């Protein structure tokens, strides 16, 4: 890990987003609340929060950080489901990895919730893809 012992704790925020492409029929089931496994967005929100909070246990060289806020926002869009995660902390290093991890795990939770509807006749996922995961912005207080 990078030694951040000499850095002051300051307010930090990162916003990341990503998309999971889904079939329009699957999106319809999500919108209508007819997914057999339950509340897709509710489960994905919790998964994203847990992932952000546990990033240092998943990414080997990430520092464990005292997060003060994790917000996971999901919405249906034309191509699938978009996820935006905002993470805040007072820390010695940035929170972008926590935001990115939250996005990816939330989108994987969506995939898990709807996978039965996404499979083709051979059991494959030719339409489903997680893509465009990126940090949209990050900021910190002046030292």
Instruction: Tell me if residue 112 is catalytic.
Output: yes
Token digits for 82?
Answer: 């978009």
**Active-site entry in 3, 39, 112, 143:** 112
Distance CA 75, CA 15 (A): 16
Residues in a beta bridge with 69: 88
3-state secondary structure of 20: strand
CA distance 11 to 35: 39
Catalytic (active-site) positions: 112
């Amino acid at each position: 890990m990078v030694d951040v012992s000499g850095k002051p704790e300051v307010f930090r925020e990162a916003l990341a987003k990503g998309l999971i492409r889904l079939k329009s029929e699957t999106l319809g089931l999500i919108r209508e609340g007819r997914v057999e496994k339950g509340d897709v967005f509710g489960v994905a929100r919790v998964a994203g929060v847990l992932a952000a909070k546990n990033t240092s246990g998943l990414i080997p060289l990430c520092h464990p950080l005292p997060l003060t806020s994790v917000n996971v926002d999901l919405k249906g869009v034309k191509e699938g489901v978009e996820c935006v995660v905002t993470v805040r902390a007072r820390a010695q290093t940035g929170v972008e990895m926590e935001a990115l991890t939250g996005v990816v795990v939330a989108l994987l939770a969506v995939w898990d919730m709807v996978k039965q509807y996404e499979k083709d006749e051979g059991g494959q996922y030719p339409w489903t893809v997680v893509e465009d995961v990126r940090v949209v912005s990050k900021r910190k207080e002046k030292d």
